[in-house]
Chain A
Amino acid sequence: MPHRYLKAFTGLLAATVLSNSALAEPLEVGIGYIQWIPDQGPVLSNVIPEPEDAGLKGAELALQDNSTTGKFLGQTYTLESTVADSGEAAIAAFDSMRRKGVGLFVVNAPAQTLKAITASANEETLIFNAGAKDDELRTNGCHANMLHTMPSYAMLTDALGQWLNQRRWDEVFLITGPTEADKGWADAFRRAAKRFGLEIVEDKPWTFDADLRRTASKELPLFTQASDYDAVVVADVRGDFGEYVPFNTWLPRPVVGTQGMSPVAWHRVVESWGAAQLQNRFRELAGRDMNSEDYAAWAAIRSIGIAVTDLGNANPDAIRSFLFSDKFQLAAFKGRKLTYRDWNGQLRQPIPLVHPRGLVARAPFEGFLHPNTEMDTLGFDRPESECRING
């Protein structure tokens, strides 16, 4: 950490010496990062654990990226981060940072905690949701000072729905897990199925409580019995049973959804459009692969950086206006410029469809047309959302 300050300081000196026309007044930009990931409970397919610093490392990388740009402009960035162990602790961390004058936040927490945090947000705060995928936060639970860099369940399942449609695999067997998140994901998928002409031939809740590491091959074939389907869709957000569905279905069919082939914000197999460089930088920093939470936090802090570079100040209200203006565009290694939807603050973005060791495709697909941008065929478009955070 002291090393980074030293680097930024030297950068500042160098920039002062140089006759740099882009040089603005020295500026310090403080950003708060708050993470709270509730315990997922015991899961069956817990062979490969999720990294505990998912999100935080993405934020740290973006801070480095911003600082490198900032050193040419006399701008320094600092990150104050809290990994909380409860929702209350996350809210307390937010309040404490607010009192210290921090106005820019990236929050990686469940919707409920996020809502409690945004309840006290005003023009002096700008909050990026880099964790909660709940559609409700984008359809009627919006907040004027909250943007979303994490794709919603609807964006992810629309990506999957488009893919199934263009593969003409339009009869699917849906298995939904017991948690609220599983239901949220499955509801989003049912909406996608309607939008993209898919037929859900079976819609079964997961009720088994056996340990599939012993019995998957016996139980799942029976569970997935049906006359015919083109694919099995799994809604198991926390990874309880889903990893055991592939290769254990009654019919020899592919498995897609939260396991098998999945729609994600980011994954290590994304390498086009310069993504290989981002992946390398991340691996060097974190010693592991970059995931969707890291990407969402990275995109949030890079959005702030781009705004500050242009504005020459870090006023949250000014940054917010800039992010919704025509001038903002985020180069984020997805092959297109990314922008924020002005009705609900969601970052538009292509969605990679991946399996653990390869990229299968990238939504939106050709042929799914939209009058403004094809990216708005993913998730809740303006007429489908009640939110109007910009009036």
Chain B
Amino acid sequence: MISLFKHTALATMIGLSTPALASLAYVSNEKDNTLSVIDTDSMEVVDTIDVGARPRGILLSKDYTKLYICASDDDTVQVLDLATRKIIDTLPSGEDPEQFALHPNNKHLYISNEDDAIVTVVDVTNKDVLAQINVGIEPEGMAVSPDGKWAVNTSETTSMLHWINTETFEIEKNIVVGQRPRHVEFSKDSKIAWASAEIGGTVHIIDVGNLEQIHEMSFKVPGVNQDRVQPVGIELTDDGKYAFVALGPSNHVAVVDAQTYEVLDYLLVGSRVWQLDLDKDQKHLFTTNGVSGDVSVIDVAELKVIKSIKVGRYPWGVVVDPTS
């Protein structure tokens, strides 16, 4: 199914004589209202796509044919067809969508509505709004566990993780964490959730089985004032070896042993590093650097920054299409 889809997509792309056949990364540029498309083999920007106002969170459909884009200032979620690179649809999203997460069923999209203290659940197949769930002030981070059981929302000003049962769309548990929680990332087996708190400067490790915090991490970047160490994006390798934590205006990414929660290294990247994504074989990690307007590429085996790629103004989100 997927390969068929991709085959058709590929055929279409060839038909349109789109040059890129290599693996692609998509970067949302918050202040340019564009996406930059990066060829992850040549590490160059191969295309720039106009999208809605203030694009922030982006994610791929589970069949990798579409890219969903939070166009925050347009109060909508746009659907980009990856084969044609055209916006083919918009979804009702509630006001000011910032981040979102797609359920493994490829249907239910959980959207943080930052200005409304609400999480909106939309069925992407028929655009039905299935639920609107009241959460804390400034809902931001959104994640759905790989087993599909939990949706987690972080509310920045309330400083809580809200655990939403994906069957009932009701909050079952609220966990108070450090100030300004930004992002949640699940381990592949859905057993552990990692949550970053930007102002708290902490990462909270939650045991999903009993919904209790089992560890709290903090970071000390040599030569950087502690105030500037602000964890945001988190990315875990599938082999369970590493967690990468973007540390915002400290301009570093922390490399963490995902089993012992020990910080192994700090890697210097661009200014105000925000979100992260691994490429398909998990050899490279891409980081968006909001202030310097570029993407840093980290070699995962060597734990070294090997390249920086200039993109648009205020790059926010990054996803790599693992099938391209």
CB of A317 closer than 8 Å to a CB of B: no
- Which residues on A sit within 8 Å (CB–CB) of B157? 65, 68-69, 302, 331
Given contacts A329-B179, A331-B179, A337-B227, is CB(A69)–CB(B173) below 8 Å?
no
Q: Are A309 and B176 in contact (CB under 8 A)?
A: yes
- Which residues on B sit within 8 Å (CB–CB) of A73? 174
CB of B114 closer than 8 Å to a CB of A: yes
Q: Are A68 and B137 in contact (CB under 8 A)?
A: yes
Question: Of the 9-residue stretches A18-26, A214-222, A232-240, which lies at the interface with chain B?
Answer: A18-26
Could you tell me the distance between the alpha carbons of A374 and B200 in the complex, rounded to whole angstroms? Answer: 18
Q: Which of A366-391 contact B (CB under 8 A)?
A: 373-375
CB of A336 closer than 8 Å to a CB of B: yes
Residue from A69, A277, A280, A329 within 8 A of B136 (CB atoms): A69
Could you tell me the distance between the alpha carbons of A14 and B174 in the complex, rounded to whole angstroms? Answer: 12
CB of B172 closer than 8 Å to a CB of A: yes
Residue from B171, B179, B200 within 8 A of A18 (CB atoms): B171
CB of B269 closer than 8 Å to a CB of A: no
Minimum CB–CB distance from A127 to chain B (whole Å) comes to 24
Minimum CB–CB distance from A347 to chain B (whole Å) comes to 14
Given contacts A309-B176, A331-B157, is CB(A277)–CB(B200) below 8 Å?
no
What residue in chain A is nearest B290 (Cβ atoms)?
Answer: A272
Could you tell me the distance between the alpha carbons of A39 and B127 in the complex, rounded to whole angstroms? Answer: 56
Could you tell me the distance between the alpha carbons of A68 and B160 in the complex, rounded to whole angstroms? Answer: 11
Minimum CB–CB distance from B194 to chain A (whole Å) comes to 19
Minimum CB–CB distance from B260 to chain A (whole Å) comes to 25
How many B residues touch A, CB cutoff 8 Å? Answer: 35
Q: Are B114 and A69 in contact (CB under 8 A)?
A: no
Given contacts A280-B115, A336-B227, is CB(A72)–CB(B179) below 8 Å?
no
Q: Which DSSP category, helix, strand, loop or mixed, fits chain B's interface?
A: loop
Could you tell me the distance between the alpha carbons of A373 and B200 in the complex, rounded to whole angstroms? Answer: 16
What residue in chain B is nearest A21 (Cβ atoms)?
Answer: B173
Q: Are B158 and A69 in contact (CB under 8 A)?
A: yes
How many A residues touch B, CB cutoff 8 Å? Answer: 30
Minimum CB–CB distance from A246 to chain B (whole Å) comes to 28
Q: Are B227 and A22 in contact (CB under 8 A)?
A: no
Residue from B158, B171, B199 within 8 A of A337 (CB atoms): B199
Could you tell me the distance between the alpha carbons of A330 and B180 in the complex, rounded to whole angstroms? Answer: 9
Given contacts A274-B138, A281-B115, is CB(A337)–CB(B173) below 8 Å?
no
CB of A197 closer than 8 Å to a CB of B: no
Minimum CB–CB distance from A179 to chain B (whole Å) comes to 36
- Which residues on A sit within 8 Å (CB–CB) of B173? 18-21
Could you tell me the distance between the alpha carbons of A22 and B171 in the complex, rounded to whole angstroms? Answer: 13
Could you tell me the distance between the alpha carbons of A277 and B178 in the complex, rounded to whole angstroms? Answer: 19
Q: Are B156 and A274 in contact (CB under 8 A)?
A: yes
CB of A29 closer than 8 Å to a CB of B: no
Given contacts A69-B158, A337-B179, is CB(A331)–CB(B198) below 8 Å?
yes
Q: Which of A1-45 contact B (CB under 8 A)?
A: 11, 14, 18-22
Q: Mark B106-120, 1 if CB is under 8 A from A, else 0.
A: 000000001101000
- Which residues on A sit within 8 Å (CB–CB) of B178? 329
What residue in chain A is nearest B211 (Cβ atoms)?
Answer: A21
Could you tell me the distance between the alpha carbons of A68 and B136 in the complex, rounded to whole angstroms? Answer: 6
Could you tell me the distance between the alpha carbons of A274 and B170 in the complex, rounded to whole angstroms? Answer: 27
What residue in chain B is nearest A71 (Cβ atoms)?
Answer: B134
CB of A358 closer than 8 Å to a CB of B: no
Q: Which of B185-228 contact A (CB under 8 A)?
A: 198-201, 211-212, 225, 227-228
- Which residues on B sit within 8 Å (CB–CB) of A331? 156-157, 159, 179-180, 198-200
CB of A335 closer than 8 Å to a CB of B: yes
Minimum CB–CB distance from B258 to chain A (whole Å) comes to 26
CB of B235 closer than 8 Å to a CB of A: no
Could you tell me the distance between the alpha carbons of A116 and B138 in the complex, rounded to whole angstroms? Answer: 38
Minimum CB–CB distance from B121 to chain A (whole Å) comes to 17
Sample (13) of A-B pairs whose CB atoms are under 8 Å apart: A11-B134, A18-B173, A22-B160, A65-B137, A68-B136, A274-B180, A280-B115, A306-B159, A309-B159, A330-B179, A330-B199, A331-B179, A336-B199
Known contacts A18-B174, A310-B176, A336-B199; 9 further A-B pairs (Cβ under 8 A): A18-B172, A65-B157, A65-B158, A68-B157, A68-B158, A284-B115, A302-B157, A331-B179, A337-B227
Q: Which 5 residue pairs are nearest across A and B when measured between Cβ atoms?
A: A331-B199, A331-B179, A69-B158, A331-B180, A336-B227
